[in-house]
Chain A
Amino acid sequence: MALVTQFITLEISLVDAEGDLVAWIEAALAEQGHPLRWAITHIDPVPGMATVEAVITVPS
């Protein structure tokens, strides 16, 4: 199956991410595609939100 690489950003709630933060982020990314590389790149502590930047692959 042919692939396309895409850059995406996600806003995730750190408050809701109980336990395994990596699994929480990977699950959120998996709704968009297959994650290749990601990182939390910004934290807004008051509402407890984090920005995740990622490159994913999706079928073309």
Chain B
Amino acid sequence: MLFGSSMVQDMCHRRPYTAILVVPTGIGAAIGGYAGDALPVARGLAAVVDTLITHPNVMNGAQLYWPIANALYVEGYGLDQFAAGRWGLHPVHGNRIGLVLDQGIETELRWRHLQAAEAARATLGLDLTDYVVTDAPLGVALRTAASGATWGTIQQPDALLRAVEKALAAGATAIAVVARFPDDTDDTVLQSYRQGQGVDPLAGAEAVISHLVVRTFQVPCAHAPALSPLPLDPKISPKSAAEEIGYTFLPCVLAGLSRAPQFVTTLAQGAALWADQVDAIIAPTSAWGGSAVLSLSRPGIQAIAVDANTTTLAVTADALGLPVIRVASYLEAIGLIVAHRAGVQAQALTAKVPRLQALGQGFPPLDR
């Protein structure tokens, strides 16, 4: 009886636990650098927190997606603004999605995307406005930087913004963009990616497109590339396979945007989640140089760096002098979150509990 009362009291008086899962795109993350292959991590984390905030690179698996009731699907630019405390996240029951198609998409490929959108309406019950075609080809150009990270630019950003403006005027509250990406990706790079190695050559440019829309209009946005179908390859990695099973990568984007939170920029805009309500952030150990993780590496937030999720980078929190707990795997990260949420000091779950030291001698890292 006493046990039951204590549980009820805990549920009534404990504030909700909020965690952010970040797997940056375009840096060859061993888990999440391919076709939505960090989605199982998001599902596992979501089961032990009240709210999980994550981003399209984690949640999008082309034709595959998994609705997580307590996960917020937040585009990267918006996530950076949220982490910096400039924007809040306002959960919604549903969004009306405006579909923006690059004029550079050939007729047959455009029909494939329109049919994916129609399927999302009829089969999933999603709400879409009529679609908009840009008034010029967007001209996506891909680039791999010296670090190994992929980036990209678009030649006609104004054409994209004009099309988004039309969709918003038609009543859209979230924007799905489909841009024609070049098919002439380096064959070696493409084959590596399909075999679950190397860096996604498209990822950096995808992020730039959605970032531009979110920065300009402060609405949820995500992007799907339009590409010609590739020939069958029996050696495709399971991590990349989700992008081999259909004509478009659009379904996951529509599913994610359908319930993506809106952005608010002032407290007066109503109830929202703000950065000061975040309890934990989880990211790859070697990718600690992004805006969101830097903003949230501060006292009061459990920052967890996952060694197993290797990337092409070597930017660690240690090198930046930031306080994080390093763990071997996401399995360990989930355990750490459970302990943190329960108010249990993680070291107490190991066989090694060091003696207290005089203040000022530093606190040792987690010793297993």
Residues in chain A within 8 A of chain B (CB atoms): 2-7, 9, 14, 21-22, 25, 34, 36-43, 45, 50-53, 55, 57
**B291 & A39 in contact (Cβ 8 Å cutoff):** yes
Chain B residues with CB under 8 Å of A5's CB are 153-154, 157, 208, 212
Of B145, B212, B315, B319, the contact of A36 (CB 8 Å cutoff): B212
CB distance from B83 to the nearest CB of A (A): 8
**B84 & A22 in contact (Cβ 8 Å cutoff):** yes
CB distance from B254 to the nearest CB of A (A): 23
What are 21 A-B pairs at a CB distance below 8 A? A5-B208, A7-B152, A9-B145, A9-B146, A21-B320, A37-B211, A38-B291, A39-B149, A40-B289, A40-B294, A40-B320, A41-B146, A41-B147, A41-B289, A41-B313, A41-B315, A42-B313, A53-B147, A53-B149, A55-B151, A55-B204
Query: How many angstroms between the C-alpha atoms of A21 and B287 in the bound complex?
Result: 15
Query: How many angstroms between the C-alpha atoms of A45 and B291 in the bound complex?
Result: 20
**B315 & A55 in contact (Cβ 8 Å cutoff):** no
CB distance from B121 to the nearest CB of A (A): 31
B330 is an interface residue with CB less than 8 A from chain A: no
CB-nearest residue of chain A to B24: A39
B314 is an interface residue with CB less than 8 A from chain A: yes
Interface residues of B in 252-311 (CB under 8 A from A): 287-291, 294-295
CB distance from B192 to the nearest CB of A (A): 20
Interface centre among B145, B154, B289, B320 (most CB of A within 10 A): B289
**A6 & B153 in contact (Cβ 8 Å cutoff):** yes
Of B153, B314, B319, the contact of A7 (CB 8 Å cutoff): B153
| Chain B interface mostly | mixed
Query: How many angstroms between the C-alpha atoms of A6 and B256 in the bound complex?
Result: 29
Interface centre among A25, A38, A42 (most CB of B within 10 A): A42
Query: How many angstroms between the C-alpha atoms of A14 and B145 in the bound complex?
Result: 21
CB distance from B275 to the nearest CB of A (A): 12
CB distance from B213 to the nearest CB of A (A): 10
Chain B residues with CB under 8 Å of A50's CB are 289, 315
Residues in chain B within 8 A of chain A (CB atoms): 24, 76-77, 84, 143, 145-147, 149, 151-154, 157-158, 161, 204, 207-208, 211-212, 215, 287-291, 294-295, 313-316, 319-320
Given contacts A37-B207, A38-B291, A39-B291, contact A51 B152 (CB under 8 A): no
**A39 & B290 in contact (Cβ 8 Å cutoff):** yes
Of A34, A37, A45, A53, the contact of B319 (CB 8 Å cutoff): A45
Q: Apart from A39-B290, A40-B315, A53-B149, list 4 A-B contacts with CB within 8 A.
A: A5-B154, A7-B143, A39-B313, A53-B145
CB distance from B148 to the nearest CB of A (A): 8
CB distance from B179 to the nearest CB of A (A): 13
Chain B residues with CB under 8 Å of A4's CB are 157
CB distance from B105 to the nearest CB of A (A): 20
**B147 & A42 in contact (Cβ 8 Å cutoff):** yes
CB-nearest residue of chain A to B316: A43
**A43 & B76 in contact (Cβ 8 Å cutoff):** no
**A55 & B320 in contact (Cβ 8 Å cutoff):** no
**A36 & B147 in contact (Cβ 8 Å cutoff):** no
Query: How many angstroms between the C-alpha atoms of A4 and B146 in the bound complex?
Result: 22
Of B77, B147, B154, B295, the contact of A37 (CB 8 Å cutoff): B77
* For the complex of A and B, 6 pairs with smallest distance between CB atoms: A40-B289, A41-B147, A5-B153, A43-B319, A3-B157, A36-B211
Query: How many angstroms between the C-alpha atoms of A52 and B291 in the bound complex?
Result: 11
CB-nearest residue of chain B to A43: B319
Chain B residues with CB under 8 Å of A52's CB are 289
Chain A residues with CB under 8 Å of B154's CB are 5
